[in-house]
């Protein structure tokens, strides 16, 4: 199934809100919505000061990401203005820096007889993006968010400022549009012409302002569970993100092979392929049904990967996500296993259908690394 066919609902929403909604003035409130997921009705209503218009969360885990604005990053506590629709409504607020690194994640339940709640933040790093999530089936609506303070903008030396003469191709809107948000998903709005395919591609943006295409829905679904967080942009803004490498299958998910070669490979971080040298090792690492875990990568996309050393022992490759006897979930790198707390597990978006159990013999190869942090290097392809 083509990705474009799955995005029909999202494209309908994009036709209603084709561009981000900006606040009218510069202040401590959010200036723009970054994406408009289908599970949030009228997310643009959360932009700007409280005005009695609301972004409505329509199911559990619905979320909206808000941009405080360039040179308007927040400091200090964050206040939510809200309206609860059902008793027991609860929230999660993630404060992120300009590179989408999570600085703090806070959850709580709303007071019934109030319309404001404050999320304490004593960090010294300013937050650029705020992701607000409804975390229970009991629903609520968001009117606005407000930072206690706005960080002082960093002075730009005159020699480094963008040129404003007629020969310059840059302007304020282009600079704002190209501000990187690592992990942001973007695509063109459907041009209505079934003969064109350029508007079907979905890209993920890295922290170097480059976009990377997902070669298929199968690859996309190893990194993201759904298409709710895609931002629809025009061709000019899409072109402001330089084109990088295609996205590869996420480590710890599918095993891969090429149609012209029977060798089966595990994928490690960075798109590194590790040939599983024997069927016995494949069975030990991935179970009796290991062959059902294998997918073919078209020849066209095989060059997106890098071939590393073969796997000759029964040690799970780096990037594997395994469950242990206590029920906890661990992430494995080359030498350590890291426990995944609930919030981190959600942030990383690991797909549970790929989880396998790590036995005591396998676990002996890894030292305990403590809790895994919300690391964007693990969470996003680039």
Whole-number pLDDT of residue 38: 65
Task: Report the relative pairing of strands 336-339 and 367-371 from DSSP bridges.
Answer: parallel
Which of the four pLDDT bands, split at 50, 70 and 90, describes residue 36? low
Look up residue 158 and give its DSSP letter.
G
Q: Which residues contact 51 (CB under 8 A, 6 or more apart)?
A: 143, 144
Its pTM surpasses 0.75: no
- Residue in 269, 268, 273, 263 with CA at minimum distance from that of residue 301: 273
Helix (H, G, I), strand (E, B) or coil at 244: coil
- Residue in 163, 142, 24 with CA at minimum distance from that of residue 90: 142
Is the per-residue pLDDT at 186 higher than 70?
yes
By the 8 A CB rule, do 294 and 288 touch? no
Please state the rounded mean pLDDT for residues 185-201. Answer: 80
Whole-number pLDDT of residue 243: 93
Look up residue 12 and give its DSSP letter.
H
pLDDT tens readout for residues 198-232: 888 999 999 888 999 999 999 999 999 888 778 88
CA distances from 328 to 267, 305, 325 (A): 23, 31, 7
Task: Report the relative pairing of strands 32-33 and 102-109 from DSSP bridges.
Answer: unpaired
* Percentage of the chain lying above the pLDDT 70 cut: 85
How far apart CA 347 and CA 105 sit, in angstroms, is 10
How far apart CA 58 and CA 290 sit, in angstroms, is 38
By the 8 A CB rule, do 249 and 220 touch? no
How far apart CA 96 and CA 152 sit, in angstroms, is 17
Class of domain 20-150: mainly beta
Please state the rounded mean pLDDT for residues 261-283. Answer: 97
Task: Report the relative pairing of strands 261-268 and 272-275 from DSSP bridges.
Answer: antiparallel
Whole-number pLDDT of residue 188: 86
Domain boundaries, the chain: 20-150, 255-379
CA geometry: angle 90, 91, 93, nearest 5 deg: 165
Is the per-residue pLDDT at 179 higher than 60?
no
Whole-number pLDDT of residue 33: 83
By the 8 A CB rule, do 186 and 203 touch? yes
- Residue in 259, 265, 250, 262 with CA at minimum distance from that of residue 215: 250
Whole-number pLDDT of residue 81: 96
Sign of CA dihedral 226, 229, 232, 238: negative
By the 8 A CB rule, do 103 and 97 touch? yes
By the 8 A CB rule, do 255 and 265 touch? yes
Which of the four pLDDT bands, split at 50, 70 and 90, describes residue 32? confident
Whole-number pLDDT of residue 170: 32
Task: Report the relative pairing of strands 102-109 and 140-150 from DSSP bridges.
Answer: unpaired
> When comparing pLDDT for 234 and 4, which is higher?
234
How far apart CA 301 and CA 293 sit, in angstroms, is 19
Task: Report the relative pairing of strands 185-188 and 210-213 from DSSP bridges.
Answer: unpaired
How far apart CA 318 and CA 335 sit, in angstroms, is 8
Helix (H, G, I), strand (E, B) or coil at 11: helix
CA distances from 283 to 1, 77, 329 (A): 30, 51, 21
How far apart CA 130 and CA 66 sit, in angstroms, is 5
Whole-number pLDDT of residue 7: 38
Please state the rounded mean pLDDT for residues 347-363. Answer: 89
């Amino acid at each position: 199934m083509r990705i474009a066919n799955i995005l029909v609902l999202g494209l309908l929403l994009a036709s209603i809100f084709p561009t981000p909604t900006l606040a009218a003035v510069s202040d401590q409130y959010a200036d723009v919505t970054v994406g408009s997921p289908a599970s949030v009705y009228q997310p643009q209503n959360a932009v700007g000061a409280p005005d009695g218009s609301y972004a409505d969360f329509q199911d559990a885990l619905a979320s909206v990401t808000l941009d405080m604005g360039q040179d308007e990053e927040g400091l200090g506590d964050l206040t939510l203005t809200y309206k609860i629709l059902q008793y027991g409504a609860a929230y999660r607020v993630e404060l992120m820096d300009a590179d989408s690194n999570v600085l703090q994640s806070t959850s709580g339940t709303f007071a019934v007889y109030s319309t404001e709640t404050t999320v304490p933040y004593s960090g010294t790093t300013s937050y650029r993006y705020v992701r607000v999530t409804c975390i229970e089936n009991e629903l609520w609506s968001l009117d606005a968010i407000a930072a206690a303070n706005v960080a002082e903008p960093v002075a730009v030396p005159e020699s480094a400022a963008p040129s404003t003469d007629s020969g310059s191709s840059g302007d304020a809107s282009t600079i704002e549009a190209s501000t990187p948000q690592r992990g942001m998903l973007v695509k063109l709005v459907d041009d209505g012409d079934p003969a064109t395919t350029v508007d079907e591609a979905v890209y993920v943006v890295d922290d170097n302002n480059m976009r990377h295409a997902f070669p298929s829905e199968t690859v996309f679904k190893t990194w993201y569970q759904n298409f709710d967080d895609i931002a629809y942009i025009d061709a000019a803004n899409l072109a402001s993100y330089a084109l990088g490498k295609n996205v590869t299958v996420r480590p710890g998910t599918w095993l891969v092979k090429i149609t012209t070669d029977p060798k089966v490979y595990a994928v490690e971080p960075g798109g590194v392929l590790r040939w599983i040298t024997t069927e016995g090792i494949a069975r030990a690492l991935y179970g009796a049904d290991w062959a059902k875990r294998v997918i073919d990568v078209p020849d066209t996309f095989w060059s997106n990967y890098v071939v590393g050393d073969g796997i000759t022992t029964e040690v799970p490759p780096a990037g594997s996500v395994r469950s242990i006897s206590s029920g906890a979930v661990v992430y494995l790198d080359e030498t350590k296993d890291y426990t995944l707390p609930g919030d981190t597990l959600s942030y990383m978006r690991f797909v549970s259908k790929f989880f396998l159990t790590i036995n005591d013999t396998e676990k002996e190869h890894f030292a305990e690394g403590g809790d895994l942090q919300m690391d964007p290097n693990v969470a996003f392809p680039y």
